[in-house]
Chain A
Amino acid sequence: MPKVTIDGRTIEVPTGTTVLDAAKMLDIPIPTLCYHPKLTPFGGCRLCIVEIKGIPRPVTSCTTPVSEGMEVTTSTPQIEDLRKTVLELILSDHPNDCMVCERAGDCTLQELAYFYGIRENRFAGERRIYTKRDGNPFIERDLEKCILCGRCVKVCDEVQGVGAIDFGYRGFKSKICTPYEKDLDCEFCGQCVAVCPTGALTGKLWAFKGRQKDIKEIDTVCPYCGTGCNITLHIRRNEVVRVTSREDTWNEGWLCVKGRFGYKFISSSDRLKKPLIKRNGQFEEVSWDKALDYIAEKLNDIKSKYGADAIGGLSSARCTNEENYLFQKLMRAAIGTNNVDHCARL
């Protein structure tokens, strides 16, 4: 366990810990853009540079493992000056249209620009132009806002195992591309949207649905399957406008396309809210008691006429384990048949 001294404070950390993580343990802030705790370090944004005694040039704290006796300084006038230059360079190739950006108020780049007080830009010049064009209903790519931190590429490869996007081209023209620059055509899990530190990747479903400050967050469990991912519903005016997941949950903040984007049913006008019984070709709204009585009566009729094995039960992956247990109990004990199955087995 090497000992490291950061800004005069010493800490012992497990072998392999990076300088950035060690600083976090000491609650010493270091600005980052491309760093993500769940992804392999990239070292591209250069904001987390620090001075390490004995190394002649600034090094990125996110990529440098701690070694015994290392002495780190996280902030010097020279380091802050370099960080400011780097931020100015990023912003010189950024639309800076925060007033209409989906991520305003929830954007790492915006926050850093605020803290470093960047208003005038010494390096203003050509900007990359990108026309939005993806036809999919989930993910909006606005590559003009992309800072090429590579988080989306890494999450797609390292977490999702898909590799739908990667870096393309070189120099100033570098950008994140799909193969042959075709429209994005992937699983649409939206993990890339979740890790993007700017407004380059956003969900189409929540465009213009409200700023983060007006949103109430409710933690719950995703109802789509037995996995039971923890999700956070973002609610504005009693409407779910976005779904995210927290990193400190057991699913580590990762979601699939259903959990992240499949929430429109909640406030859909077609959603069934009360039981309906079809009589003479017409649906009639009834109470739950009436509906359950009706079902029980029909099941009993079938059972007495044709026997219990004439009845089969099919349960849903959207039910919890407990619900599925109760369902098979109902089929076996109450109805008296082993004809019970589950849609996820098909």
Chain B
Amino acid sequence: MFESKINLEIKVCMGTGGIAAGGTEVLAAFDSALKERDIQAKLQMGCSMHKVGCRGLCAKDVLVDVIINNSKSTYQYIKPEMVQRIVDEHIVGGNPVADWLVADDYHNFYKKQVKVVLSDCGNIDPENIDSYISAGGYKATEKVFKSMSPEDVITEIKKSGLRGRGGAGFPTGVKWEACRGVQSEQKYIICNFMDRAVIEGNPHAVIEGMVIGAYAIGASKGYVYIRAEYPLAVERLKLAIKAAKERKFLGNNILDSSFSFDIKIKLGAGAFVCGEETALIAFIEGQRGMSRAKPPFPVYQGLWGKPTVINNMETLANIPYIINKGADWYSSYGTEKSKGTKVFALTGKVKNTGLIEVPMGITLREIIYDIGGGIQGDKALKAVQIGGPSGGCITPDMLDINVDYESLAKVGSIVGSGGMIVLDEDDCMVNVAKYFLSFTQAESCGKCVPCRIGTKRLLEMLDRITKGKGKEGDIELLEKLSSDVKAASLCGLGQTAPNPVLSTIKYFREEYEAHLQGKCPAKVCRDLLTYYIIEELCKGCGACLRACPAGAITGEKKKPHHINRQLCIKCGACFDVCKFKAVGRE
């Protein structure tokens, strides 16, 4: 087979998910298997093997592409010991190993996606700048420095309709224009951390976006806020910054122009509130990450009192693609007011979980049933929680709404950070609200009273309700306090933290009411459950008796058993272990 000219490329998915699944070992296995067979030497053209960033479907990792003369085969769930067979049968023998190839669900996952920000993630080697350049990287920077004025850049970005991907959806071009208009010797651009996958899979796109943004507003210094808990992202960004400086895409006199711009990395210790721009500024200044009152807005007085633009990673990663392909191309995707694409983290009870990028305006139905492949176990969809911890729920009857800023806001949800959690009939909505609120409460910076104490009181009320200690009037009090916390809080964290409560009450009020009556319809809230044995079904096998950690089950062999409710700790062990469905709970 190696007599003729051949091109072989092996791509191993090595985002955090890929590495956790064994990507490093798989890549090493390919390396040694190919060396053993001396294939590299026999190749007349080229053989490349490299890591690539996340392509979204981490559930099927380790994913491996084997590309021979432009014919690509993708394998899923690859372990190091499987590599030898792929080399033998596919690379040497020319017949792909059919058993291990990805199936239709893999292809369906990508069919309705439109990748802009993530277009190079999973294709290029994130640790190699040449890989990015050969995929068209830094062409946008060259174009900007050769033929565009800062005003041209701003006009192009405004025309593209790009809006901030961090939550509020403020038009990026307008923000840049405002900052450009402020007279100041020093300006800054800050990249707010959000997308681990983008930094891990294509760090240069973010750097390029920052360079172009800095050029547009006239900033000479940039900061990337990135969480220290993501060492791979930090490492790849460091490598990318170093490589970009060597090639003069960053640093002094970029591309031999008079413009200089440098990027510093600021490692954060996992504070959710630092996503709020004034808290992020305080953090970079070396202060505690606490929000500040606006006005003044950061574009006028930001970091160290200087005009500052804060953009999200995803927003910035869009910039080079918009500059390259044009505003018209970008705005051809999306709806009237929400242009382009948006990355979502699709999780929960959906068959295909992973990171997806879809055009704005796609329906929720398409996301869940076409991309996500439907609900796990074909159970009934109950709700979709969109927008992260401060988002809201959407019910099945609203599945045909367009996913964009306006439509989601209309139904009490937000695009937010792009979280999309699919909930089914087994999820308790009161518990879901409690879950999100326990996160936002713990992450409140503590500065303002409504957020610090208000969210705590909301959480306590929800906790009471899930424990069967709710009282009449609690739902109304939850609504009242939620709206007060939203109205009176200082920053976006407190102003949106009660959203999960309000949205679940709005659409699932009857579930809250059931809890006040002592019932959890989804059978999740342990304190509201009662376990009992259905005598007609019990065979007296003793499995539940042995499984019970509290000694609450008694009964003779081959005779119906009995649960002592006083001793029962409602752990559900008997329910899980019974093969005859003889343990009931309600």
Contact = CB atoms under 8 A, between A and B. Distances in A.
A binds B: yes
A49 B488 CA distance: 8
Interface string B439-452: 00111111111101
A234 to B, nearest CB: 31
A126 B448 contact: no
Contact of B449 (A65, A86, A126): A86
A81 B488 CA distance: 10
B453 A93 contact: yes
A171 B442 contact: yes
A326 B107 CA distance: 98
Nearest to A64: B295
Interface residues of A, number: 38
A121 to B, nearest CB: 10
A85 B477 contact: no
A17 to B, nearest CB: 14
Interface stretch (B42-50, B78-86, B286-294, B546-554): B286-294
B460 A46 contact: no
Interface in A141-192: 147-148, 150, 166-167, 169-174
A292 to B, nearest CB: 60
Interface size class of B (residues with CB under 8 A): 20 to 34
Contacts of B158: none
A148 B447 contact: yes
Nearest to B448: A44
B453 A89 contact: yes
A210 interface: no
Contact of B477 (A43, A122, A126, A171): A122
A89 B271 CA distance: 24
Interface in A77-97: 78, 81-82, 85-86, 89-90, 92-93
Nearest to B439: A171
Contacts of B295: 64-65
Interface stretch (A55-63, A251-259, A312-320): A55-63
Nearest to A81: B484
Main secondary structure of the interface of A (DSSP, over half): loop
A303 B315 CA distance: 89
Contacts of B453: 89-90, 92-93, 123, 172
A46 B450 contact: yes
Contact of A82 (B292, B456, B487): B487
Contacts of B448: 43-46
B449 A90 contact: yes
A37 interface: no
Interface of B: 271, 273, 288, 290, 292-293, 295-296, 441-450, 452-457, 460, 477, 480-481, 484, 487-490, 495
24 contacts: A43-B292, A43-B293, A44-B490, A45-B449, A49-B488, A64-B293, A64-B295, A86-B449, A86-B450, A86-B484, A89-B454, A92-B453, A93-B456, A126-B460, A148-B447, A148-B452, A150-B447, A167-B446, A169-B446, A170-B442, A170-B445, A171-B446, A174-B444, A174-B452
